Amino acid sequence: MVDVTYSVDMVRMKTKVPKEYWSRFVKSKLDLEPGAIYWRKTDFKSYGHNWQIRQSHEMGGEYSYWLGYAHNSEDSTSQEASLVIEYNPNKCPIDGLLEYILGEFYASKDTEIVTLDIAMDFEVNITNLIVDKFRKNKMKIIYGGQGEDDLTYYLGQGDGRIKIYNKARELGVDGDLTRYEVTKKINKKIRDVLMPEFEFEAEIPTVGYLNTLPTDKTLEGLLWAVRNGYSMQRLTRYSRDKMREFISDNTELQFDDKKISQAIRIYFQGYKDILQFR
């Protein structure tokens, strides 16, 4: 069995902030922050006020995160509006201005977790995977041109979308390391995901890493074709069912919903401890 490491890779959280208080915060903090870039958006699906903020690591390097305030669909006459933040816990240490923002606005169990990405890393070369579109409406493969393992899969759109890519290449390290990311709506408060009964729910399409090849030569040929970019959806229903049955019976790669839920609880327990709220 292939070992899988689970982590929270991107978090979007939301809270409500009075407009007068937010205006003072912008003037006293964001307007004076050299790493903050501001822009306006007016379409109905966007936040009206946006900031991309860049900070520097104490050990060198940079990281960034995004803030959005006052969604354009909200009542403009209200005295408060939504404030949303999106950041990558694996790249953004909670320090400096980010720590201040989280402590000021998001240090509460009532903070809403809107979406998060769960990352699953495993030491398998991406070329050895068999990726099935399954019930996702779209599947795209992007080839980077730096070798046969320089490729990325995109499955689905919106809630439950998936990205599978060569993490070793991104990190610039030797060896085999593939990352499988699922973006999922949570729409729960921090207090809810800290509960033992919290369960992460996502329909993860079949992904195979085979420890054997079929004795059926026709099935072996179909596996070779799918491994080389031929969409499984283009096979006959009979062939798809045979492929999925073989992958399910012979794969060494399995994702554990309980471990995904545990990874989310562990992250937010650590988040709560760092910001010291009850």
Backbone angle region of 175, left / alpha / beta, with phi > 0 → left and psi within -120 to 50 → alpha: left
Quote the pLDDT of residue 101.
97
pLDDT at 202 over 70: yes
DSSP 92-106: --S-HHHHHHHHHHS
| Pick from 120-124, 153-157, 231-235, 236-240: least confident | 231-235
Quote the pLDDT of residue 220.
86
Q: List residues bridging with 251 in a β-sheet.
A: 210
pLDDT at 92 over 90: yes
Q: What are the structure tokens assigned to 132, written together?
A: 């099935």
pLDDT-above-90 percentage for the chain: 59
| Pick from 18-22, 152-156, 240-244, 257-261: least confident | 240-244
Question: How do residues 36-55 score in pLDDT, each as one tens digit?
Answer: 999 999 999 999 999 999 99
Quote the pTM value: 0.88
Q: What is the mean pLDDT of residues 256-269?
A: 94
Q: What are the structure tokens assigned to 152, written together?
A: 């990325």
Q: What is the mean pLDDT of residues 172-194?
A: 94
**Angle of CA points 56, 62, 64, to nearest 5°:** 100
pLDDT at 1 over 80: no
pLDDT higher for 113 or 135?
Answer: 113
